């Protein structure tokens, strides 16, 4: 007769050899997809392996397809992030693989230079590739501390790569036409529409008086210093509806040209931020339509995944109030 210790050891051994519920379920599903007459010995090994991985909770890398352990944070083959990242600044969840938090607007990457995307150690204070400091660059124009190659607030290029990219971006045949339309748009936005016929009469009288004063000042020549332009104001008065129509016409013309400068997908977020900001128009009431979420941002620097591409758009109507995930609309 077996002793209690021998009985206990036998029970443990029996339990270890019993198939668990997940293995039984995977085996049953494999049998369901197995062609009739095919034995388990010649069943497709890939199908069985895939099902076993799914039941065991293995994580498949979205970038290279490598199967990783259920608790893995990074792909063991390519290093791709497998789980959402928690922003260290505000605690928000950021999708895997992104380096920018759209909630608190902070760069959260630690292993890549935010200016050139070169690899960086957590102990590096400066990028070994481009020399940029991890803590950011002070913008010489608005004095804000920036972590990208262009200033998020005023659009000033902060690195040599950014300045070079800006020069190349506007080396296009239609650049002059874009600049001219920008001036016309800004002038229309500053134009005050007429409200009545009496206002037209008053403006005409003011214009005539101004022209007479300008003529007298020109006749005086060097005897008096004139610090005002000598050209007359344009004799064009627009009603509110006419002004709105003309603005929309100019906006459509300019938008067609900007569509030609739409940025395609880029290999990394740093290059995408440089390329997109380099082709930023010199105009207010501007937004960035990203391909990541089809969202409207104040600039591509406010997008968590700019490498998917996008384009600049001229805002119209209430679109200025639809800028998403941005602290404010930055106008240049």
* Res 221: pLDDT: 66
Q: Where are the beta strands (DSSP E) in the chain?
A: 59-60, 67-68, 85-86, 93-94, 100-101, 106-107, 137-138, 145-146, 286-290, 296-297, 310-314
Q: Which residue has the higher pLDDT, 229 or 118?
A: 118
pLDDT tens-digit profile of 140-158? 999 999 999 999 999 999 9
| Alpha-carbon gap, residue 102 to 303, rounded angstroms | 7
Over the chain, what is the mean pLDDT? 80
pLDDT digits (tens, 9 = 90+) for 267-326: 999 999 999 999 999 998 999 999 998 999 999 999 999 999 999 999 976 655 566 545
- Report the chain's C-alpha Rg in angstroms: 32
Under a CB-based contact definition with an 8 Å cutoff, are residues 271 and 161 in contact?
A: no
Percent of the chain with pLDDT over 70: 73
pLDDT of the residue at 226? 54
pLDDT of residue 201: 80
pLDDT of residue 25: 44
Flag whether pLDDT at 26 surpasses 50.
Answer: no
Range of lowest pLDDT (126-140, 154-168, 214-228):
214-228
Both structure tokens of 80: 């791709």
């Amino acid at each position: 007769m077996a002793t209690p210790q021998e009985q206990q050891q036998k029970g443990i051994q029996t339990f270890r050899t019993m198939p668990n519920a997940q293995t039984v379920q995977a085996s049953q599903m494999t049998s369901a997809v197995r062609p009739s007459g095919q034995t388990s010995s010649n069943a497709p090994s890939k199908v069985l392996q895939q099902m076993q991985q799914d039941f065991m909770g293995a994580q498949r890398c979205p970038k290279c397809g490598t199967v990783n352990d259920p608790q893995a944070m990074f792909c063991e083959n390519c290093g791709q992030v497998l789980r959402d990242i928690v922003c260290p600044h505000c605690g928000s969840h950021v999708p895997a693989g992104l380096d920018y938090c759209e909630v608190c607007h902070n760069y959260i990457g630690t292993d890549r230079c935010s200016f050139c995307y070169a690899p960086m150690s957590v102990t590096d204070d400066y990028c070994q590739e481009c020399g940029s400091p991890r803590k950011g660059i002070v913008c010489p124009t608005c004095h804000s501390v920036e972590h990208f190659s262009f200033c998020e607030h005023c659009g000033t290029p902060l690195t040599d790569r950014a300045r070079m990219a800006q020069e190349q971006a506007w080396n296009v045949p239609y650049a002059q036409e874009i600049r001219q339309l920008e001036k016309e748009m800004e002038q229309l936005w500053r134009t005050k529409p007429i409200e009545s016929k009496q206002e037209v009469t008053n403006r005409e009288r003011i214009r005539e008086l101004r022209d007479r004063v300008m003529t007298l000042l020109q006749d005086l020549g060097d005897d008096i210093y004139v610090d005002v332009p000598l050209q007359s104001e344009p004799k064009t008065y627009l009603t509110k509806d006419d002004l709105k129509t003309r603005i929309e016409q100019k906006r459509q013309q300019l938008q067609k040209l900007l569509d030609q400068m739409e940025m395609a997908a880029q290999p990394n977020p740093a290059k995408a931020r440089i390329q997109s900001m380099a082709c930023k128009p010199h105009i207010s009431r501007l937004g960035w339509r990203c391909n990541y979420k089809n969202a409207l941002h104040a600039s591509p620097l406010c997008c968590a995944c700019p490498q998917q591409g996008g384009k600049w758009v001229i805002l119209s109507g209430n679109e200025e109030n639809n800028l998403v995930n941005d602290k404010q609309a930055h106008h240049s």
